[in-house]
Amino acid sequence: MTSVHGANPLRDAADRRLPRIAGPSGLVIFGVTGDLSRKKLMPAVYDLANRGLLPPGFSLVGFARREWQDEDFTKVVHDAVKEHARTPFREEVWQQLIQGMRFVQGTFDDDDAFERLRGTIEELDKAQGTGGNFAFYLSVPPKSFPVVIQQLKKHGLADQTEGSWRRAVIEKPFGHDLRSAEELNAIVHEVFAPDQVFRIDHYLGKETVQNILALRFANQMFEPIWNRSFVDHVQITMAEDIGIGGRAGYYDGIGAARDVIQNHLLQLMALTAMEEPASFDADALAAEKTKVLGAVRLPRDLGRGTVFAQYTAGWQGGEKAVGYLQEEGIDPASKTDTYAAIKLGIDNRRWAGVPFYLRTGKRLGRRVTEIAVVFQRAPHSPFDTTATEELGQNAVVIRVQPDEGVTVRFGSKVPGTSMEIRDVSMDFAYGESFTESSPEAYERLILDVLLGDSNLFPRTEEVELSWKILDPIEEHWDGHGRPAQYPAGTWGPVEADEMLERDGRSWRRP
């Protein structure tokens, strides 16, 4: 049956569910020998190919200093895929993928290498039909961003001829503070237009993070209570059990707050707190997130409203763990935070007076990321106080990982002859409700880059506003003695517990 308005609504609905497949294109990775490339980017490219979401002639070019031939590069990708890909290895997919794999050897300041890269891209356009469409993925230390961007410009690699596109994908950290982020933005935008730039915040590629929007705006039952009249406070936790591994060079001097609060946690907060966007389109989403970040209020007393700390030796998963200052490559006098907790407010009508507590840390009790919206207690209780003494506050908990889902916590009568009310929870688990497994964040984000879909990528303003929030906190920590301490394998320093106790609250133990 066709509708009277011409379009067939059933067919339109089906069309929207068709897989989004990238058109002719290729990806160039700078920093291809790094950890991120091996563990995340190469496997994600393979998984996309395996799911049939890449075009037949898709090309992958690695650029690095190593003296490799194409075959050496192919072997590295092969091993990375075998070890880290999410989907099973299929020889026919692999054979097709390697047709478009090339390696360009050189350093970032080597003009000849960038000319060879240009030649490789032209060759791939002919051999693989990539149509001049290339994304350049900068998986390199921030200090190398300017030179790579300048080289892309100098060698005409950023130029889009009619009908083709060029895009830059930039990994975090995007700057070190507001000033350096502004400088970087200026350098990037001298060469690339805003719609050519994709800044990665891989948390936005996670299914559960996108589900924040579905939960809030596709349902009627949460939104009416999602405000200061009903919400007591919000806790956003990103806890990791791992230490810094082999990343001393990157981590020392950066610390937990710059590493993940400036980006992942503030993005989670923005998605949790923002108003409903007019549509799910990139501009509309960015506008709402930007409003929230712009309305963030820091604690008046940064000494009482923030905590920074370092892990000391302890036990984790039955094994002894060394303290941060004893980790290989760490300056023994380092003040770098491996744990950070911050209390923020949002100055708008919806959230006035509701604290948002953000915390993150390495070497905590276990790996878990969650957003807990904790509600006020019922204004009046007809029950005896003894009946409700074990009743906590209602909460909606979005479990980002590893046990993806949503929990709603509320009180229920304990079976028996007396009236006793205790907390129970109602759980939605992805694994039980859906048969599809969730794609890795990088699969989604790389596909979006190739499709030119920028919904899930933070804009310049968001990055800069996030630094504006963090800069005064970092400055305060710089000027105020040494970080607090917590033994590896615990839930953080007592100072963080005290911070919430002063407000009459406590951290969740996920």
The nearer residue to ligand BG6, 209 or 496, going by C-beta atoms, is 209
Measured between alpha carbons, how far is 414 from 421 in angstroms, rounded to an integer?
6
Q: Answer yes or no whether residue 207 interacts with ligand BG6 by CB under 6 A.
A: no
Minimal distance in Å, beta carbon 444 to ligand BG6? 13
Minimal distance in Å, beta carbon 108 to ligand BG6? 22
Q: Answer yes or no whether residue 340 interacts with ligand BG6 by CB under 6 A.
A: no
The nearer residue to ligand BG6, 12 or 35, going by C-beta atoms, is 35
Q: State whether residue 115 is helix, strand or coil.
A: helix
Catalytic residue among 84, 155, 233, 264: 264
Minimal distance in Å, beta carbon 34 to ligand BG6? 12
Q: According to CB under 6 A, which residues from 260 to 279 bind ligand BG6?
A: 260
Site string for ligand BG6, 348-387 (x = CB under 6 A): ----------------------------------------
Minimal distance in Å, beta carbon 339 to ligand BG6? 12
Which of 232, 240, 327, 462 touches ligand BG6 (CB under 6 A)?
240
Q: Are 223 and 462 in contact (CB under 8 A)?
A: no
Measured between alpha carbons, how far is 490 from 482 in angstroms, rounded to an integer?
19
Q: Phi/psi zone of residue 6: left (φ > 0), alpha (ψ -120 to 50 degrees), beta?
A: left
Minimal distance in Å, beta carbon 260 to ligand BG6? 5
Annotated binding site for NADP(+): 65, 172
Which one, of 209, 220, 235, 269, lies nearest residue 375 by Cα? 235
Report phi then psi at 503, rounded to 5.
Answer: -95, 5
**What's the full length of the chain, in residues?**
510
In what helix (H) or strand (E) does residue 256 lie, and over which residues does it extend? helix 255-256
Q: Answer yes or no whether residue 125 interacts with ligand BG6 by CB under 6 A.
A: no
Q: Answer yes or no whether residue 448 interacts with ligand BG6 by CB under 6 A.
A: no
Report phi then psi at 383, rounded to 5.
Answer: -95, 160
Q: Answer yes or no whether residue 404 interacts with ligand BG6 by CB under 6 A.
A: no
Which of 259, 404, 474, 495 touches ligand BG6 (CB under 6 A)?
259
Q: Answer yes or no whether residue 443 interacts with ligand BG6 by CB under 6 A.
A: no
In what helix (H) or strand (E) does residue 359 lie, and over which residues does it extend? strand 356-361
Q: Answer yes or no whether residue 239 interacts with ligand BG6 by CB under 6 A.
A: no
Q: Answer yes or no whether residue 232 interacts with ligand BG6 by CB under 6 A.
A: no
- DSSP assignment of 28-53 equals EEESTTSHHIIIIIHHHHHHHHHTT-
The nearer residue to ligand BG6, 206 or 343, going by C-beta atoms, is 206
Minimal distance in Å, beta carbon 240 to ligand BG6? 6
Answer yes or no: 176 catalytic.
no
Measured between alpha carbons, how far is 393 from 431 in angstroms, rounded to an integer?
27
Report phi then psi at 315, rounded to 5.
Answer: -115, 135
The nearer residue to ligand BG6, 421 or 447, going by C-beta atoms, is 447
Residues binding ligand BG6: number (CB under 6 A): 3
Measured between alpha carbons, how far is 308 from 294 in angstroms, rounded to an integer?
24
Q: Which residue is nearest to ligand BG6 (CB)?
A: 259
* Beta strands across the sheet bearing 26-30: 101-105, 59-64, 26-30, 134-138, 166-170, 197-199
Q: Is 386 exposed, middle or buried (0-12, 13-18, 19+ CB in 10 A)?
A: exposed
The nearer residue to ligand BG6, 47 or 240, going by C-beta atoms, is 240
Q: What are the structure tokens assigned to 487, written together?
A: 């033994």
The nearer residue to ligand BG6, 240 or 464, going by C-beta atoms, is 240
Catalytic residues: 264
Summarize as ranges the residues that interact with ligand BG6 (CB under 6 A).
240, 259-260
